[in-house]
Amino acid sequence: MSVKVMFRQTGLLWLSSMIAVAIVLFSLPAWSKPPQKVPPKPATPATKAANEKVLQDLPFSDKQDFADAQRGFIDRPEKLTIKDASGRVIWDLESYKKYIGLDKPAPDTVNPSLWRMAQLNMLYGLFKVTDHIYQVRGYDLSNITFIKGDTGWIVFDPLVSTETAKAAYELVTKNLGKRPVVAVIYSHSHVDHYGGVRGVVDVEDVKAGKVQIIAPEGFLEHAVSENVIAGNAMSRRAIFMYGSLLPRDPKGGVSAGLGQTTSRGTVTLIPPTKSIQKTGEELIIDGVRMVFQMTPGTEAPAEMNIWFPDWKVLWIAENCTHTMHNILTLRGAQVRDAHKWAYHIDETIDLFGDAKVKFQSHHWPVWGNARVLEYLKKQRDAYKYLHDQSVNLMNKGYTGEEIARMVKLPPELDRNWSTRGYYGTVKHNSRAIYQRYMGWYDGNPANLDVLAPEAAAKRYVEYMGGEAAVLKRARADFDKGDYPWVAQVLKHVVFANPDNTEAKHLLADAFEQMGYQAESGPWRSVYLQGAFELRNGVPKSISTGGTASPDVIKSMPPEMLFDYLAVRLNGKKALGKKIALNIAFSDLDQEYGLTVDNAVLNYGKPLARPDAKATLSKATLDAIQLKEVKLEDAVAKGDIKIEGRPEAFREFLGLLDVFPPWFNIVTP
């Protein structure tokens, strides 16, 4: 058999596995709805009472946010449903409008405070922030901002999807006249702040120097890499966090807190043409003067605020919105630094404390210097209080679980709408601060080497007198409204015996009531998605859409791909294996050596005596990932070449795991 034929049978399989990596990494759930065998249940008397108490405890008579969210309104379409080129709906505010409105009181299945935020997030359309500055809100999870320069628009944070960004640009053009986009500024490295860039910019204009793309230093690395290594786990948990599969009704999805939800369109990425590197750096773009403040390690690893000194206007990116943010996002990520977050907000006050207007990439602006300063100080103090008091209790010997139950914001912050927990919460943020300093171990030797959940569950249930005894007591506690305890106990019964339908349904009932009471949009979604899966199973047949767009794929360096291959290596299968491979990228003039030894995949300089070598261009790899070129055709054309022993690729391929995108969470 010729080397070329052998390559078709071995090297192609290996490259196919390697190529599939990125497409899986960035997968997101589509809008299709899973089958619902067991419908949601109504609110219990305990839930109705809990939500009624929220109405009594918080200052709902304060309507300032509603005035601010409608100030400067210019225009909105009567209906807002946005589709992609194939006709697939990727943004549908209409699905929320049928049950959320300013004139509609909170249903008893929704926390009134979260309902209030949902009402505010439904105020969509084109708004004037101040002279020269306009925003389109409610077209995606984030806002898109248009700054009027001498000749064109400077766009801030062009949403998640090209389709929503394009629709927003069209609304601006309809009302304010046709003007070209002369620059785009990405405030930070999360997808809802760059993904729609091709909806407002032609990449050829960027290449020609007609349009600048400006971002904080480190943006591209973090934008591409943030979800790579743990991407599969994060994507699965994001389904819980954003409630993307929940029905759009009072018993389902209500709001994600930062916005209603995320769009599901075409994600793009045009690399920056200029990176901002230090606080105080100043640019004049199309006649608009801007001063930048670097805020790395706050809401994102690469983020920046912008000051307009001639207008006394402050853009604060996503460092301050009208909610407490996440110190640790529930989809999973590295813990953020609450201390640094508070520090940078304090620096903002020192640098730009004479601001007359403050606006950002989610929610609505604040006007008036006194109100802006009050807002910033309370945002700063919320993160500072969380940090300081969590660390205070940590140093007194309390664990993360205990601290989460002990830290309470002082009344002046707790009753302040913009520091309420619509996205992050006091409970999980204080626990995250403990995690940042101390890790998972709480210091108790009994928790150092615990049993796995299934094994522990069986022992717990046995010690508690068996499944029937636990269910009897859990049902009595459910009737008392003690839902968190019911959930904590019944998870053991479900993990001990996942076929116990009665236990699963009672646990689902507890999750559901906890969701109905949750003020945080993500907490509500997590509970309700958990209830759904307990009753109906994991929706494995639901299709997924992806943000693995051409721009994202092309921005992935080879090193990122190799890092992910190392994570996919099955350690047990790799025991005793020794494999040496070289991968050469002709257009990058770079060659890498990959070795499997000691059940570990390492990569680095090319190897002197590899078992086999593959040569191809990064452009060819990108084209195959994007299904623009077939592997066989690339080989036939000579775009991929193999030398040495092709069987080494087959052996290597056999050591790589394929991660299940729909793994179980609430059942074993």
Tokens representing residue 255 in the block: 């709001």
Q: pLDDT tens-digit profile of 328-386?
A: 999 998 899 999 999 999 999 999 999 999 999 999 999 999 999 999 999 999 999 99
Averaged pLDDT, 561-566: 89
Backbone angles phi, psi at 504, to 5 degrees: -65, -40
pLDDT over 60 at 319, yes or no: yes
Would you state the pLDDT for residue 380? 98
3-state secondary structure of 70: helix
Which amino acid would we find at residue 8? Answer: R
**Three-class secondary structure of residue 643 per DSSP:** strand
Phi, psi of 74 (to 5 degrees): -115, -50
Model confidence at 166: pLDDT above 70:
yes
Q: How far apart are the first and last CA of the chain?
A: 47
pLDDT in tens, 477-530: 999 999 999 999 999 999 999 999 999 999 999 999 999 999 999 999 999 999
Write down the pLDDT at residue 4: 40
Place of tokens 């709480």: 442
**C-alpha span between 164 and 167 (Å, rounded):** 5
Are 58 and 413 within 8 A, CB to CB? no
C-alpha span between 392 and 479 (Å, rounded): 37
For residues 196 and 142, the answer to whether their CB atoms sit within 8 Å is no
CA distance 359 to 317: 8
pLDDT score for 72: 98
Burial class (CB in 10 A: 0-12, 13-18, 19+), 158: buried
- Please, which pLDDT band fits residue 7 given cuts at 50, 70 and 90? very low
For residue 15, pLDDT beyond 90: no
The set of residues, in sequence order, having a beta carbon less than 8 Å from that of 47 and lying 6+ positions away, is: 108, 109, 481, 513, 516, 517
Find, among 376, 309, 305, the residue nearest to 346 by Cα: 376
Task: Tell me: pLDDT of 23 over 50.
Answer: no
Half-sphere CA count of 100, side-chain side, radius 13 A: 28
The domains found in the chain, sorted by start residue, are 3-26+548-653 (3.30.1050.10), 58-383 (3.60.15.30)
pLDDT tier for residue 103 given thresholds of 50, 70 and 90: very high
Q: Cα dist. 458→99, 218, 486, 664 in Å?
A: 43, 48, 17, 18
Per-residue pLDDT at 554 exceeds 50: yes
> Tell me: the pLDDT tens digits for 197-246?
999 999 999 999 999 999 999 999 998 877 678 888 988 999 999 988 99
Average pLDDT over residues 398-412: 98
CB-based burial of residue 379 (10 Å sphere; 0-12 exposed, 13-18 middle, 19+ buried)? buried
Q: What is the DSSP string of 361-410?
A: SSS--EESHHHHHHHHHHHHHHHHHHHHHHHHHHTTT--HHHHHHH----
**C-beta neighbour count of 443 within 10 angstroms:** 9
- Please count the helices (runs of H) and the strands (runs of E) in the chain: 25, 23
Torsion angles phi and psi, residue 37, rounded to 5: -75, -40
CA distance 143 to 166: 13
Number of neighbours of residue 286 by Cβ within 10 angstroms? 16
Indicate the average pLDDT of the chain: 92
Say if residue 2's pLDDT is above 70: no
- At 650 the pLDDT is 84
Average pLDDT over residues 162-172: 98
* Low-confidence winner among 278-282, 429-433, 622-626 (lowest mean pLDDT): 622-626
pLDDT band at 548 (very low <50, low <70, confident <90, very high): low
